[in-house]
Structure 1
Amino acid sequence: MRRLFLALLLASGAAHAAIDLIDDQGQAVHLAQPAKRIVSLAPHITEMLFAAGAADRVVGAVQYSDYPEAAKKIARVGGYTSVDMEKVAALKPDLVIAWKSGNRDAHLGKLKALGIPVFINEPRRIDDVAKSIAQLGKLAGTEAAGDAAAQAFRKRHAALSAKYSARPPVRLFYEAWNRPLMTVNGEHLISDVIRLCGGENVFAKLPVLAPVVDTEAVLAAAPEAIVASGMGEERPEWLDDWRQWTRLSAVARGNLFFIPPGLIQRHTPRILDGAERLCGQLDEARARR
């Protein structure tokens, strides 16, 4: 009986053990116990919390937190660039998880001033997604589920890398949006997906994470393939605007591709679904040489 009592006591203490983690901004975050009321300030963070088994801990999320389906029912606290501070405070969170590139520093400063712990998330490489899922599981007290999801992600990532990363390179222009014409540089997570598939981002060396470029720069870069995302699940009509440039290799060979933004622009497990599509598209481009 005494051993059983001690075992239960130890289990109880472990369940409420303090948590100390370093976030993606290099800041130490301390929780006296796993978070029970979490507010997510980016759609990809909401999705990763679900992946980490912490769905029932999420009490607030920003607009466009729409995956999985159950995420649509979570109370909204504005958009990731326009967080409603009053709504966040009213939810009495014991943790806010924010996105370094998307949320405003002023908003995060106000949350910290209220005494709310803020954990900054910013995946830049594919494996950072697995790391993030494991971290969120630890913060929410669902460490076993988070670690399992992270391990499954890494296994799938390794299989894709073994299959595609050493294939002949394909020079690629990733078109995130058309007006203004936006792309990503080599530090962006999407560029890591491009590398996974044996592709070369033609604008990898630009200093800005999500730079605006012009048509002349794209033509000068002479990509062999153009991949667009856009806003929704449908192929954007503006992808076909490139067809006027008939001498462009990507046009001449029919290498104008589309990937739904939810599969490549969100830092979530689904990015490997987007990677599989991209890898297949670049194989099509190789076959058309």
Structure 2
Amino acid sequence: MRAIGKDQAGYVVLAVLMVLGLWGCSKRHEADAMETSSQTRIVSLAPNLTEILFALGLEDEIVGVTRHCNYPPSARQKRQVGTFWQPDIEAVLAQRPTLVVTLGFEQQRQVALRLERIGCATLTLEIDTVDQLYESILTLGRALARNEQAQALVARLSDAQRQWRQRKPAVSPPKVLWVVQREPLRVAGTKTFINELVKTVGGVNAIGPTLHFYPPISAEQVLAAQPDVIIEPTDEPAHLDDQRRLAEGFYAAYRSVPAVRNGRIYIVDGDVVSRLGPRLDEALEHIARCVWQE
């Protein structure tokens, strides 16, 4: 007997799922039924999408998340269906979803297309700016019969954003260098939502206009930028003290930079500040404390 290859084995698994009726995928035109059905089963393929769904009161309807979905804490109790970058389609289908929610970047867009070909209802959202975050929250509210909750969430977040914008500091805006990677050094440019958040609380991007979203920069560019504040998000918030010590050692070579000279290097929780989601108000608070030493 000829052995079954890996790709063939995957199709066999999908065929078995179909025969046994183990998945609940519906065609896109049938998705409206989930608005009032108690059998709504949602798979979320991004941490910020998971946070939004929880914030809309859909905890019980969520049947699958990625390994990176760690907030709120109860999200860790949900069945995992692969990673943010590489969702496991078989694991997704095994949860019998009535809706799979994805982001719009290429890897997840391809996953959504494959799921739609199989017959799953999917909802792909672009969340690269604050305005897109608000629109995505409202879109989920409409799709999942949570209009009132969605509108209240957007109102809360936009009010926080508006309050920060209305503040009028009496001093020049501090120059902020937002470092996403040390080796090689890579920073958030002016075309990112990070830049939008820094600007909202009264700071200015130290690196100036950039062609790329997260450009690599040289040591000479750091010295020329003369940032007043350096902010680094970390994906290990449980070890902030260790991360701070490592950062101090790394930036010791930049003693002529005001942020280093004045001890204004901040290591912050990346899960809070680097996700566009329902904790936007908390992210703005974190960033403002760094920018203004509050």
Q: TM-score range by the shorter chain?
A: 0.7 to 0.9
Q: Are 2:102 and 2:108, in contact at CA under 8 Å, matched by a contact in 1?
A: no
Counterpart in the other structure of 1:271: 280
* Inter-partner Cα distance in structure 1 for 2:170 and 2:42: 41
SS of 1:172's equivalent in the other structure is: strand
Structure 1: give runs of 5+ residues left out of the alignment.
1-27
For the aligned residue pairs, the C-alpha RMSD in angstroms reads 2.4
User: What is the deviation of 1:126?
Assistant: 2.6
User: What is the deviation of 1:173?
Assistant: 0.7
* Inter-partner Cα distance in structure 2 for 1:112 and 1:166: 54
Q: Which structure carries more helix by proportion?
A: 2
Q: Are 2:100 and 2:120, in contact at CA under 8 Å, matched by a contact in 1?
A: yes
Q: Is residue 197 of structure 1 aligned with residue 197 of structure 2?
A: no
Identify if the C-alpha distance between structure 1 residues 123 and 167 changes in structure 2 by more than 3 Å, giving closer, same or farther.
farther
Q: Kindly provide the amino acid, as one letter, of the partner of residue 100 in structure 2.
A: V
Q: Kindly provide the amino acid, as one letter, of the partner of residue 31 in structure 1.
A: A
SS of 2:143's equivalent in the other structure is: helix
* Inter-partner Cα distance in structure 1 for 2:61 and 2:164: 32
Q: Which of 230, 242, 250 is residue 251 of structure 2 equivalent to? A: 242
* Mean CA deviation greater in 162-171 or 266-275: 162-171
Question: Aligned pair count?
Answer: 258
User: What is the deviation of 1:33?
Assistant: 2.9
* Inter-partner Cα distance in structure 1 for 2:54 and 2:190: 29
Q: Which of 246, 264, 268 is residue 255 of structure 1 equivalent to? A: 264
Q: Is residue 128 of structure 1 aligned with residue 132 of structure 2?
A: yes
Structure 2: give runs of 5+ residues left out of the alignment.
1-27
Q: Are 1:29 and 1:119, in contact at CA under 8 Å, matched by a contact in 2?
A: no
Deviation by residue 1:114-157 (Cα, 9 ceiling, x = unmatched): 12232222323334333322221222222222222221222222
Q: Which of 66, 70, 85 is residue 66 of structure 1 equivalent to? A: 70
SS of 1:31's equivalent in the other structure is: helix
* Inter-partner Cα distance in structure 2 for 1:49 and 1:164: 35
* Inter-partner Cα distance in structure 1 for 2:150 and 2:131: 14
Q: Is residue 161 of structure 1 aligned with residue 170 of structure 2?
A: no
* Mean CA deviation greater in 70-79 or 242-251: 242-251
The alignment's TM-score, normalised by the length of structure 1, stands at 0.81
Deviation by residue 1:228-272 (Cα, 9 ceiling, x = unmatched): 112121152332111222111211222212221111001112232
Identify if the C-alpha distance between structure 1 residues 165 and 61 changes in structure 2 by more than 3 Å, giving closer, same or farther.
farther
Q: Kindly provide the amino acid, as one letter, of the partner of residue 290 in structure 2.
A: Q
Give matches, 1:109-128, under 5 Å.
Answer: 109-128=113-132
Counterpart in the other structure of 1:43: 47
SS of 2:186's equivalent in the other structure is: coil
The alignment's TM-score, normalised by the length of structure 2, stands at 0.79
Q: Kindly provide the amino acid, as one letter, of the partner of residue 284 in structure 2.
A: A
Identify if the C-alpha distance between structure 1 residues 111 and 167 changes in structure 2 by more than 3 Å, giving closer, same or farther.
farther
Q: Which of 97, 100, 103 is residue 93 of structure 1 equivalent to? A: 97
Counterpart in the other structure of 2:56: 52
SS of 1:278's equivalent in the other structure is: helix
* Inter-partner Cα distance in structure 2 for 1:214 and 1:30: 53
Q: Are 1:177 and 1:229, in contact at CA under 8 Å, matched by a contact in 2?
A: no
Identify if the C-alpha distance between structure 1 residues 176 and 102 changes in structure 2 by more than 3 Å, giving closer, same or farther.
farther
Q: Kindly provide the amino acid, as one letter, of the partner of residue 263 in structure 1.
A: V
* Inter-partner Cα distance in structure 1 for 2:216 and 2:186: 4
User: What is the deviation of 1:198?
Assistant: 1.3
SS of 2:175's equivalent in the other structure is: strand
User: What is the deviation of 1:29?
Assistant: 9.0
* Inter-partner Cα distance in structure 2 for 1:217 and 1:32: 53
SS of 1:130's equivalent in the other structure is: helix
Counterpart in the other structure of 1:171: 175
Counterpart in the other structure of 1:33: 33
Percent identical? 23
User: What is the deviation of 1:281?
Assistant: 2.1
